[in-house]
Amino acid sequence: MVLLHIAILLPFAYAVLVPLLYKSIKRIHTGWFVLPIPVLLFLLISSHLGDVRQGIISSYSWPWIPSLGLEFTVYADGLSILFAMLITGIGSLVILYSIFYLSKTKEAIHQFYVYLLMFMGAMLGVVLSDNLIVLYGFWELTSISSFLLIAFWYEREKSRYGALKSMLITMFGGLAMLAGFVMLYGMTGTFSIRGIIADAAAVTGHAWFLPALILILLGAFTKSAQFPFHIWLPDAMEAPTPVSAYLHSATMVKAGIYLAARLTPVFGGTAEWFWLIMSFGLITLFWGSISAVKQTDLKAILAYSTVSQLGLIMSLIGIGSAALYYGYGTTSQPYVAAMTAAVFHLINHATFKGSLFMVTGIVDLETGTRDIRRLGGLASLMPITFTFAIIGAFSMAGIPPFNGFLSKEMFFSGVLNAARMDIFIMGTWGVLIPVIAWIASVFTFIYSFIFVFHTFTGKRKAGELPKVPREAPLGMLIPPAVLASLVVIFGLFPNLVSVSLIEPALASIFPQFVMPGEQFGVHITHWHGPTTEVLMTIGVVVIGGLLFWQFRRWQGLYGRLPKKLSLNALYDGGLRGLDRFSARVTRGYMTGSVRDYLVYIFGFMIAVVGYMLFRTDALRYIGQGSYAEITIYDAALAAVVMAAAIASLFARERIALIIFTGSVGYLVSLFFVLFRAPDLALTQMVVETVSVALFLLCFYHLPKLKQEVSSRRVRIGNLLISIGVGLIVTLTALAASGARLFDSVSEFYVQNSFELGGGHNIVNVILVDFRGFDTMLEITVLGIASLGIFTMIKLRAEMLNPPAALRGALHKRGERAASNTSDTDTAKRRRNHAGQ
């Protein structure tokens, strides 16, 4: 089972080699060297299908932080193997497609494949991990790598905007999900998913049940683009088409689906889980299908259709979770069937949506546009692409004999069964579920037909196309051909996946229902007689066909919707509001006054340290220590130090100020002499000498010191801060010296300085050997600071005395600006003269 760890880590390891291959072998497209990785992983993961079908769950752990219960544990059950096969299988086709889509001379393809391999490894980590914290780490890595992929064409403003939008929304959900995971740990005492499932009773009866459920669903909803978090997905379509075909149809957006299905054994069977997932899924299905119809960009149509289809799958997971309420038996079978439909449509969606994205990429590449208002009549020029489009779009619309028809029928059965439920107050609201599902399906039919027939049929608009259309090269047609073939095969022979993929996945979602020697008995057929589902499908085709036929007459209704009330406007306005608020807050404390910054620092120190002194009752240790006797010399020296420090406050000249502060340092060195530490005294004197010399060199060039008269409020504040710092430091020192919670560490150095460090001077051995890395880092910090100061001085010198070439360029720029200003003034005068 170490192979599962290798399957996760191999894409990351190979990503390191990609730039080297790109530089060393330039004649061959880098994608050819990347393609074997997902193919190999697909074969490796598929080899576990036999064990999974027999109920054998493979697992292996690598210790990570055992003291916190964190282990890198991977395991292969039906659900994880299904998703891992989608990730690697679709990934193989996408990489093959990208070889012909991306130019090796015009694109930074080495970066593309590095990001893609990072994403593939992260997704495999999500679906194969048993530990929630490890899963979260890979979850966030998918957000980062998808950000890089969406912003691949970073010179485009829309690409940067879409990438940032997707990362902000999905990472917000990821942080909420992490809080939910921590709550699950607090309820069960483990981060293991299998351990939490085994202890599900402790979760459902806990006071943290609902908060944990909501926080985890925030992560699932944001990642899977559920309403109202779906707004990131359409803007993410600015990514290259292979990215869209991979991330937004088969992998990244399915991560939330995976999480909801994986945790159904924990939260399922409750009204909260049922209503939240089912209702948000239906709303997403409805809103996504309606929004897709009004789009004019092919990828935008597919983006909103993806939102809609994800809502369909999520709603089925919610309905299917009701099976856990009834328990194992015939009563739960209709809801197990709904979960079956969710898993089946998950597979179907990956096949037809992946092929449709690839068709869109072909159209865009061969015509130069994705705008359906400029497209039309491409069927005769691109017959193979048109065939793939027909297959994918008809499957998405739910037309037989394609696989989408079968899962759409099962979806109708699921919502009808949900309407008949007698739990979760479904008797009141259940009737709305089939109605919403049917209306959304009508619009799904419409946008599917718009995608195909507005692009490939009708009048050809050759004059509006940037390029002369032609069929794509063979290599670009192979990936959509494979996916379109699977659409047809799974539609004609659906039971090829029922036993091998669907039943093991159901066993993972409903482990309580897995009985020895029994199977779920999944058997998918095309015809069940004249049922309500068939009537609903006929209604979808008839009403959808009529509305598509009259589309141009009613599409103007979309223009009457207020754009300012959209969720995108709310998102943009929220970001602008946060930006203004943060700027206002920053201006409030970044005043440019050193005194204000010191007030913040010392005030925070007083508050935190003072609170901890009282919170931990540390003041009781004051006076409990054994203090050395204070001699007359100590008292006299302390009085002189205080006098020099106080005198520095009243200095009128910089020279006097330097002398007083230097005196404090030199007098402190005398303390070291009295305490019999001559080496420390010598060090202190050297440091003070260098510091005083540097101060004199710097302040010699500064203007005369001015004593500004501060207000009473400022002086009182300074007094309070000064007293507070002195009091806190004194109390901390007395409490620390009085507390003897552990043996003194000094004995260790006394006994080991010579044996381990080879020196008799304990202080020097500590600095050089025991604290060698600390000293080295201090020197490194000083070196970096010195380089920074040198750079700033050099830049300032160049700004004051720029080179001759730069002065000439600045002079010419100034002349052009003056000329432009003059031309503008002349134009204004001419317009005024004409008006007169």
Classify domain 594-749 by CATH number. Answer: 1.20.120
**What does pTM read for this prediction?**
0.81
The residue type found at 97 is Y
User: Mean pLDDT in runs of 10 for the chain (836 residues)?
Assistant: 82 92 84 94 91 84 79 90 95 94 84 94 94 94 94 92 94 96 93 92 91 96 94 92 88 93 94 94 96 93 95 95 86 89 95 95 92 90 95 94 94 92 80 94 96 91 83 92 96 91 92 70 84 93 94 82 78 92 90 87 94 86 75 89 87 81 90 84 88 79 64 86 92 82 78 81 80 83 89 76 57 50 43 41
State whether residue 174 is helix, strand or coil: helix
Please state, as a whole number, how many other Cβ atoms lie within 10 Å of the Cβ of residue 570: 13
Length of the chain: 836
Q: Three-state secondary structure along 443-475?
A: HHHHHHHHHHHHHHCCCCCHHHCCCCCCCCCHH
Cα–Cα–Cα angle for 679, 685, 686, nearest 5°?
Answer: 90
Please state, as a whole number, how many other Cβ atoms lie within 10 Å of the Cβ of residue 815: 10
Torsion region of 465: left, alpha or beta (phi above 0 gives left; psi -120 to 50 gives alpha): beta
Angle between helices 333-367 and 78-101 (to 10 degrees): 10
Strand runs labelled E in 122-208: none
- In the structure encoding, which two tokens stand for residue 88, read together? 């690697």
State whether residue 127 is helix, strand or coil: helix
State whether residue 358 is helix, strand or coil: helix
The set of residues, in sequence order, having a beta carbon less than 8 Å from that of 360 and lying 6+ positions away, is: 241, 244, 298, 299, 302, 370
For residue 775, CA distances in Å to 440, 543, 679, 753, 782 come to 67, 78, 17, 17, 11
Going from N- to C-terminal start, the domains of the chain cover: 268-510+519-549, 594-749
The residue type found at 521 is G
Distance CA(599)–CA(778), nearest Å, equals: 26
Distance CA(675)–CA(145), nearest Å, equals: 59
Radius of gyration of the chain (CA): 35
Angle between helices 271-293 and 298-320 (to 10 degrees): 160
